């Protein structure tokens, strides 16, 4: 049995979209599970829209997700790197092979003639199909022309899709398709096919928006006398309103999730579940996915992108990290927020408190910024809890804290209990005003942890500030 060879072939016209990342992931997983090869190919023939910045963004996103490639840009070997604009002579030679075999022909029709035909079809309320005007004209390389593939006019093409099952396309719905422009640039169907032939791709897994292209490509494979790959068309990812996923549904760029503080493993975990399942299991490591993934378990209905579910998955991954790893990965987000955090015992204490509360690294830095910067006082919380009535409580806690030789959780608990008991109050009646004074708001982890993280000096300073505010 030949080695499985799969590919991911993005166009460098923007960031790596969530949908594209899932396509890359499914190909990568199958290649890794089967001991195959995963090829990265950049389809950059749209010269007006393709940019180096987009190429770099694709590489950046795939590396962050851990989707390494075996052949393609930045990887040595006899077949890399793969950029379509560096392979134009190859497309010309394959197109000429089809022309010489009578499977393709030169089309000399001008843009104006073609536009007139389209307008006529529109006026007659019918779908435009190229009428084969140049099918029997002799080849004249001196005249401006494109090359068109000669589609059969009768019959049908059927293929068995790994995800969708048998799909049939009647030939009378197809037109003689342009395969090579006058400037030597291949059209999508032809360029992708030639690359897949040259690179020995055995399984083409891509979005199901390409289903309509597959019969055309199969006919071209047959015209070239090449062996067909297996096809797997993956259902689209939709937003909650069941329309195609776009920015109005939330971030669609892979690197946007990196910048928001998601873990790459969590993003991979969530993406793979948009269309693939293994029983009721929700959380998977990459090693588990590599062992379990199979196209037979990919559903044929569209996945619905749920940002809340993605946050939940990321939270599960965050919770599984050690304090040391959580601190190490959270540190850049504290620094990006302008906070003077260090990878030390204090930060490890902070993330230990944050583990059950924050769902991303960015949330950790946002929710716990008061640990490193003056508290931003919530006016409503201050109006309710920093009052003349609570002033004696704050003063008692402040004086008791100043008197403690070495505050720890036990001594702080004893102090707060004594203040509450002396005034016949519940512990919460004491803790909440102190919490607002120290953190600026009413939500935080245990008040003893907050005092210990801030330290005695900073806690006293903030309590003094609250007392001064009350007057």
Which residues form the catalytic set? 247
Report the distance separating Cα 259 and Cα 57, nearest Å.
13
CB-based contacts of 444: which residues, under 8 Å, 6+ apart?
435, 438, 450
Report the distance separating Cα 426 and Cα 435, nearest Å.
15
CB-based contacts of 159: which residues, under 8 Å, 6+ apart?
166, 167, 214, 215, 218, 228, 231
Report the distance separating Cα 435 and Cα 445, nearest Å.
9
**Following DSSP, what letter does each residue of 263-320 receive, concatenated?**
-HHHHHHHHHTTTB--TT-----HHHHHHH--GGGB-SS-EE--HHHHHHHHHHHHHT
Backbone angles phi, psi at 70, to 5 degrees: -90, -25
Task: Provide the token pair at 381.
Answer: 């919380």
Alpha carbon of 131 to those of 125, 146, 468: distances in Å? 16, 15, 86
Task: Provide the token pair at 416.
Answer: 């707060």
Residue located via tokens 């991954």: 317
CB-based contacts of 27: which residues, under 8 Å, 6+ apart?
6, 7, 8, 38, 203, 205
Report the distance separating Cα 213 and Cα 197, nearest Å.
16
Angle at 62 between CA 284 and CA 211, to 5 degrees: 85
Alpha carbon of 29 to those of 23, 35, 69, 451: distances in Å? 10, 10, 11, 47
CB-based contacts of 3: which residues, under 8 Å, 6+ apart?
35, 36, 37, 202
Task: Provide the token pair at 68.
Answer: 């390494």
């Amino acid at each position: 049995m030949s080695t499985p060879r799969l590919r991911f072939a993005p166009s460098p016209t923007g960031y790596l979209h969530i949908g594209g990342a899932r396509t890359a992931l499914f190909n990568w997983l199958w290649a890794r599970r089967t001991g195959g090869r995963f090829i990265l190919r950049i389809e950059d023939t749209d010269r007006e829209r393709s940019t180096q910045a987009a190429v770099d963004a694709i590489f950046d996103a795939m590396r962050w997700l851990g989707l390494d490639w075996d052949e393609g840009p930045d990887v040595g070997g006899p077949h890399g790197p793969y950029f379509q604009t560096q392979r134009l002579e190859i497309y010309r030679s394959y197109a000429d092979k089809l022309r010489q075999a009578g499977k393709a022909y030169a089309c000399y029709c001008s843009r104006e003639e073609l536009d007139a035909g389209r307008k006529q079809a529109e006026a007659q309320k019918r779908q435009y199909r190229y009428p084969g005007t140049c099918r029997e004209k002799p080849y004249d390389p001196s005249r401006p022309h494109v090359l068109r593939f000669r589609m059969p006019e009768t019959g049908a093409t059927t293929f068995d899709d790994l995800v969708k099952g048998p799909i049939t396309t009647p030939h009378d719905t197809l037109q003689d398709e342009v395969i090579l422009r006058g400037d030597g640039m291949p059209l999508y169907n032809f360029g992708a096919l030639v690359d897949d032939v040259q690179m020995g791709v055995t399984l083409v897994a891509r979005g199901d928006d390409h289903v309509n292209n597959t019969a055309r490509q199969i006919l071209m494979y047959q015209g070239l006398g090449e062996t067909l790959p297996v096809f797997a068309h993956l259902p689209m990812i939709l937003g909650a309103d069941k329309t195609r996923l776009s920015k109005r549904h939330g971030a669609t760029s892979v690197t946007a999730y990196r910048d928001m503080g998601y873990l790459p493993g969590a993003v991979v975990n969530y993406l793979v579940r948009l269309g693939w399942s293994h029983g009721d299991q929700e959380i998977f490591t990459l090693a588990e996915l590599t062992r379990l993934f199979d196209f037979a378990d990919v559903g044929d209905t569209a996945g619905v992108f749920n940002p809340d579910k993605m946050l939940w998955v990321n939270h599960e991954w965050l919770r599984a990290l050690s304090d040391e790893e959580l601190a190490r990965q959270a540190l850049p987000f504290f620094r990006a927020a302008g906070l003077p955090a260090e990878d030390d015992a204090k930060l490890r204490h902070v993330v230990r408190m944050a583990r059950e509360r924050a769902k991303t690294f960015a949330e950790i830095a946002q929710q716990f910024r008061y640990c490193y910067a003056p508290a931003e006082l919530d006016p409503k919380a201050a109006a309710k809890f920093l009052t003349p009535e609570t002033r004696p409580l704050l003063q008692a806690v402040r004086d008791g804290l100043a008197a403690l030789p070495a505050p720890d959780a036990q001594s702080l608990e004893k102090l707060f209990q004594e203040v509450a008991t002396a005034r016949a109050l519940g512990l919460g009646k004491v803790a909440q005003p102190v919490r607002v004074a120290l953190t600026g708001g009413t939500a935080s982890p245990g008040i003893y942890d907050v005092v210990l993280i801030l330290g005695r000096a900073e806690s006293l300073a903030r309590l003094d500030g609250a007392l001064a505010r009350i007057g």
